[in-house]
Structure 1
């Protein structure tokens, strides 16, 4: 089966629509959410080809296939993350500047900044005495590098 477009996201579906269907999942690493063309396997060992027509990243909960009885859903594997919780605006600005200079992609979750684990960043956070924790977490969207040069 070749998937060329996303049917929906489970967050947009009615609960009764979800309950009445058997669910298969495709588990992806967060970095693979950006890939428009890939071969994947469901948790029921069914092979699928994904070749998206539109340039849109996959997200956790995206429905790749749905009929009256079944649906195939994207789920994301946990990432090794540094969860940074600055105590004030000065710490937030300082660490954001440092990470930006390293061109590290970040995501934000309520009061925390999330970056993929890097031992150099961990050392920097310890040196700067900025609160953080190393956690395994699922992210719904990929960490995206922004193209930039210092011309």
Structure 2
């Protein structure tokens, strides 16, 4: 089966629509959410080809296939993350500037900044005395680098 578009996301479905269907999941690393063409396998052993026509990243909960009896959903494997919890706008600005200079992609959840684990970032946070913790956590979308050049 070739998947060329996302049907919807489970957040958009009524819970009763999920209960009545046989569910299969495709587990992806967050880095693979940006790949428009890939071969994947569901947790039930069904092989799928993904060839998305839209230039849009996959997200956790995206539905690849749905009929009256079955549904195939994207799920994301946990990432090794650093969860940064700055205490002030000054700390947020300081660490955002430092990580921006390294072109390190980040995501934000509530008051926290999430970055993929890097021992150099861990050392920097310790040196700057900015609160953080290391945690395995699922993210809904890929860590995406923003294109930029220093001309």
Tell me the TM-score normalized by structure 1. 0.99
1:19-58 alignment, distance < 5 Å: 19-58=19-58
Structure 1 position 68, deviation (Å): 0.4
RMSD: 0.4
In the alignment, which residue of structure 1 is the partner of 2:61?
Answer: 61
Mapped to 2, the partners of 1:91 and 1:38 lie a distance apart of: 40
Per-residue Cα deviation, 1:59-110 (whole angstroms, up to 9, x for no partner)? 0000000010100000000000000000101000000000000000000000
Size of the alignment, in residue pairs? Answer: 151
1:65-84 alignment, distance < 5 Å: 65-84=65-84
Per-residue Cα deviation, 1:130-149 (whole angstroms, up to 9, x for no partner)? 00000000000100001101
Structure 1 position 30, deviation (Å): 0.3
Specify every segment of 5 or more residues in structure 2 that has no aligned partner in the other structure, as ranges. none
In the alignment, which residue of structure 2 is the partner of 1:111?
Answer: 111
Structure 1 position 31, deviation (Å): 0.4
For the residue of structure 2 that corresponds to 1:31, the secondary structure is helix
Mapped to 1, the partners of 2:92 and 2:54 lie a distance apart of: 36
Tell me the TM-score normalized by structure 2. 0.99
Specify every segment of 5 or more residues in structure 1 that has no aligned partner in the other structure, as ranges. none
1:129-144 alignment, distance < 5 Å: 129-144=129-144
